[in-house]
Amino acid sequence: MKVPDLNFFLKTFLSLLIIFIICFVGILIGVLISEQSQNHGGNGVAVINIDGIIIDSGPYIKSIRKIRERDSVKAVVVRIDSPGGAVATSQEVYEELKNLGKIKPVVASMGTVAASGGYYIACAAPTIYANPGTITGSIGVIAKFASYEKLLEWAKLEVEVIKSGEFKDIGSPLRKMPEEEKAYLQTLIDSVHSQFKDVVSERRNLSEAKVESVSDGKIFTGSRAKTLGLVDRMGTVETAIAEARKLGGLSKDSWIAEYPVKKKTLADFIFPETLAERVIFTSSVKTGFGLYYIADVIY
């Protein structure tokens, strides 16, 4: 029997190792280049893309703060394609954008859907663009709770809950919600709804009566929203960018930088769109307790 050539295996292993190192270094260089791609010369417009369910404000706030510190960004477009999200998250992004607007011109552009929390954020901009068929509005608050009480009875399971106060396990799925809890949650929802209406009234310069008439959760097309005073102009994202360039005193061919900037990893080169990204940014499933500025539209 022929004995395997040790030198052959060693050479093969070293060759594969060298190829791997070359590929790794090439990918690393590509990552570094991608991170530097936002460093344009001259002045330009930053486009903040707010996509999907708004649950984590971190990436948006980080982007807004970077834009604030970047002197070469002379104007900002907030591109919204979202049915909304968590109340506090939407409010955080709104406040950061409103403060940014005191330093640089901010224009909002609505995509397919810019409803509820998405519309709340759009109100941070003095000027809102929408397409005629954009779905917007849904000025309201929602909280959903499921009850597994009947299922537990069917399965002959008993659950003991020890709590420090009457409302400590409010919204528990282990039992049907009593009327006292419903009434308490309604007060919370009404309070947060009032916060939404106050923002719309102030930012859109609409009377309380006018805002009340459009704040029952209804969704509107972009053209209808314009008639109601919720939107300023019809136009695409390109129209909004052209407006931002004008407000920032920029030329028609000035650069555009998009945010949040996603840092690429090795997995991004192997799998351009990972399953995790789809779950985070496109899933409409809401879990756990929370109040939401969100439109339950197909998205």
Q: How far apart are CA 234 and CA 125, in angstroms?
A: 15
Long-range CB contacts (within 8 A, 24+) of 33-38: 34/263, 34/264, 35/261, 35/263, 35/264, 38/257, 38/261
Q: Is the previous residue joined to 260 through a cis bond, with omega within 30 degrees of 0?
A: yes
Burial of 30 (0-12, 13-18, 19+ CB in 10 A): middle
> How does strand 73-82 pair with strand 44-51?
parallel
For the structural domain made of 43-142+208-294, what CATH number should be given?
3.90.226.10
Q: How far apart are CA 24 and CA 6, in angstroms?
A: 27
What global pTM score does this model have?
0.80
Q: Are 71 and 106 in contact (CB under 8 A)?
A: no
Q: Which two structure tokens, joined as six digits, stand for 280?
A: 């985070």
What are the DSSP calls for 202-223, one per residue? HHHT--HHHHHHT-SS-EEEHH
- Per residue of the chain (299 residues), what is the pLDDT tens digit? 454 555 665 666 666 667 766 655 455 444 444 444 455 679 999 999 999 999 999 999 999 999 999 999 999 999 999 999 999 999 999 999 999 999 999 999 999 999 999 999 999 999 999 999 999 999 999 998 889 999 988 999 888 889 999 889 898 989 999 999 999 999 999 999 999 999 999 999 999 999 999 999 999 999 999 999 999 999 999 999 999 999 999 999 999 999 998 655 555 545 454 433 333 333 344 445 678 888 876 55
pLDDT, tens digit, 9 for 90 and up, residues 92-135: 999 999 999 999 999 999 999 999 999 999 999 999 999 999 99
The catalytic residues are 116, 168
DSSP state of 170: T
Q: How far apart are CA 118 and CA 59, in angstroms?
A: 16
